[in-house]
């Protein structure tokens, strides 16, 4: 198929947990990597995500029910990013693959990670002892999605078993095999077995990507070709060598580490990378300098502002934050214009809006405002009916107030957000303050109105108390 990613004669950024996030992938591409892999993402967690086009960051985010961004990508890497998943279930693997396939260049199955978080549940290197499961997963993916499918394995104790597995994998129709040249129980301190990788490369006709040479063989760009020749592989995949200095992909030679870290941090700020993930990656680059003055500032930083200050990027941080905020304001203004359009779906009043938690003060929600209003009006409290859509597990809620129903025509990622969205529709349709920060009819107006009404009620109570006392005095005299 035209435009499909080729794995022949490439140099790739290997999948690395906590390292292979968007800033590192983009940096590796800038420095000359042909292909970049994301960190391993577990199928169970990814299957719960919904796809969100983030117009502020100009990214595509896959967001978990708890609002965590599990995978973030952007147009710049779309044709060269490989999504790696951890899975032991053919059907669940296909569900995740179909969720991400339009936003990535290929999908890889992790069959080599020996760490417990990957092997539990039969994933990662645990799959090596279950070739039937490997075949089922790969066949399901190859036949079920339009992008190339690959897998990454470790070598087996027997060369014959390794070659048998490689040939069986090839028959599933995968586009390439990445081979980490160590046994499951071996660690980076053990030498890489180039002879095993060479044997696999000779046994199959699809591209083989050599992995595991960072400590022994690959320390600079010039070593990449030497590792390729030593293994006879079509391509090379770098993990730790790239983690320590992503400019290892530069044919002109590596850049000073300080410059590399600054460029990494600029990407991290631009794409709102979590500060603790950025800290981890920066500390990996610092390596033996992690206890230096700079290293200690990085380790003690609690947010992106403090990380920026450590590298003298305060002005860049401020400019980036201002740019992102301007985009938020523009989108919010546009969204509110769209939100104002009230339509009818049968007898149900609808508006096309989503609940934006950041627009409301902490501990105050539209549901609370609607409930309080209902109590003051002395009507039955609102009731919510929520449904879940099967194909993407999204939610839509309808709220009933005084025998009239209201809902958002847009679906939400959680039941709670769907109920809040329906409450907002009801409040706006009735012209009642919904509590948004900065709104003229928002929290302060609502608060003043409540306080005024409370004051009136208090005055009535005092007046009744006075009248009651006068009545009792008269009764006593009588």
Sheet holding 59-63, edge to edge: 50-54, 59-63, 69-73
Q: Which residues, including other chains, have CB under 8 Å from residue 344's CB and lie 6 or more apart?
A: 350
Convert 177-200 into a string of H (helix), E (strand) and C (coil).
Answer: EEEECCCCCCCCCCCCCHHHHHHH
Beta bridge partners of 176: 150
Tokens representing 122? 């039969």
Please give the pLDDT value at position 475: 44
Averaged in consecutive runs of 10 residues, what is the pLDDT profile of the chain (478 residues)?
A: 81 97 98 98 93 92 89 97 97 97 97 86 93 97 97 96 98 98 88 96 98 87 95 97 97 96 98 96 96 96 95 96 88 60 85 86 88 93 92 87 93 92 93 72 43 49 49 45
Specify whether domain 340-478 bears CATH 3.30.160.20: yes
* Helix, strand and coil in the chain, % to nearest 5: 50, 15, 35
Question: Could you state, in order of their start, the residue ranges of all structural domains in the chain?
Answer: 11-250, 256-338, 340-478
Active-site positions? Answer: 113
Helix (H) or strand (E) holding 384: strand 383-388
Q: Which of 331, 437, 423, 334 is nearest to 370 (CA)?
A: 423
> What is the spatial distance between Cα 196 and Cα 148, in angstroms, rounded to a whole number?
25
- Dump pLDDT digits (tens) for 319-353: 999 999 888 878 766 655 555 578 888 889 999 88
Per residue in 428-455, pLDDT (tens digit) is: 999 888 888 755 444 444 444 444 444 5
- What does the DSSP 8-state code read for residue 25? H
Name the phi and psi angles at 71, rounded to 5. -145, 130
Specify the pLDDT at position 438: 57
3 state DSSP class of 350: strand
Structure confidence at residue 106 (pLDDT):
98
| CA dist., res. 366 & res. 386, Å (int) | 16
Alpha-carbon span 269 to 320, nearest angstrom: 7
Helix (H) and strand (E) counts for the chain? 17, 17
Partners of 81 in beta bridges:
36
Out of 3.40.47.10, 3.40.50.300, 3.10.580.10, 3.20.20.70, select the CATH number for domain 11-250: 3.20.20.70
Counting beta carbons within 10 angstroms of the beta carbon of residue 413, is it exposed (0 to 12), middle (13 to 18) or buried (19 or more)?
Answer: buried
Strands 81-86 and 41-42: parallel
Q: Would 11-250 and 340-478 be classified into the same CATH topology?
A: no
């Amino acid at each position: 198929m035209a435009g499909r990613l080729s794995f022949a004669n490439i140099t790739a950024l290997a999948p690395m947990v906590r390292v292979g996030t968007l800033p590192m992938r983009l940096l590796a591409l800038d420095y000359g990597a042909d292909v970049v892999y994301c960190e391993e993402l577990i199928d169970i967690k990814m299957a719960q995500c919904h796809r969100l086009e983030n117009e502020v960051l100009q990214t595509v985010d896959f967001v978990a029910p708890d609002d965590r961004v599990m995978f973030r990508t952007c147009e710049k890497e779309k044709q060269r990013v490989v999504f790696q998943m951890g899975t032991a279930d053919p059907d669940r693997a296909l569900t995740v693959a179909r969720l991400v396939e339009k936003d990535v260049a290929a999908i890889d199955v992790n069959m080599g990670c020996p760490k417990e978080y990957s092997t539990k549940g039969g994933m990662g290197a645990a799959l090596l002892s279950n070739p039937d499961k490997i075949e089922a997963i790969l066949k399901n993916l190859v036949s079920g999605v339009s992008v190339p499918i690959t897998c990454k394995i470790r070598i087996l104790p027997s060369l014959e078993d390794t070659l048998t597995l490689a040939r069986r994998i090839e028959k599933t129709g995968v586009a390439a095999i990445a081979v980490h040249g160590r046994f499951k129980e071996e660690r980076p301190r053990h030498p890489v077995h180039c002879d095993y990788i060479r044997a696999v490369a000779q046994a199959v006709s699809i591209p083989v990507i050599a992995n595991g040479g960072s400590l022994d063989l690959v320390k600079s760009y010039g070593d990449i070709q030497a590792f390729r020749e030593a293994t006879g592989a079509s391509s090379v995949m770098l993990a730790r060598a790239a983690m320590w200095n992503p400019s290892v992909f530069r044919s002109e030679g590596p850049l000073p580490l300080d410059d590399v870290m600054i460029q990494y941090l600029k990407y991290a700020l631009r794409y709102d990378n979590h500060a603790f993930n950025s800290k981890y990656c920066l500390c990996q680059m610092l390596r033996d300098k992690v206890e230096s003055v700079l290293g200690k500032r990085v380790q003690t930083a609690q947010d992106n502002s403090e990380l920026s200050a450590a590298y003298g990027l305060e002005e860049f941080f401020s400019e980036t934050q201002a740019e992102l905020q301007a985009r938020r304001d523009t989108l919010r203004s546009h969204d509110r214009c769209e939100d104002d359009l009230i339509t009818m779906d049968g007898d149900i009043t609808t508006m096309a809006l989503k609940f934006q938690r950041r627009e409301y003060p902490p501990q105050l929600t539209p549901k609370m405002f609607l409930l309080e209003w209902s109590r003051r009006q002395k009507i039955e409290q609102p009731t919510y009916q929520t449904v879940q859509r099967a194909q993407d597990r999204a939610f839509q809620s309808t709220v009933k107030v005084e025998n009239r129903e209201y809902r958002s025509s847009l679906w939400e990622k959680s039941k709670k957000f769907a109920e809040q969205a329906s409450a907002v529709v009801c409040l706006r349709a009735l012209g009642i303050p919904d509590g948004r920060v900065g709104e003229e009819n928002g929290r302060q107006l609502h608060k003043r109105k409540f306080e005024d009404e409370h004051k009136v009620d208090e005055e009535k109570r005092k007046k009744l108390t006075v009248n009651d006392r006068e009545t009792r005095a008269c009764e006593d005299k009588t």
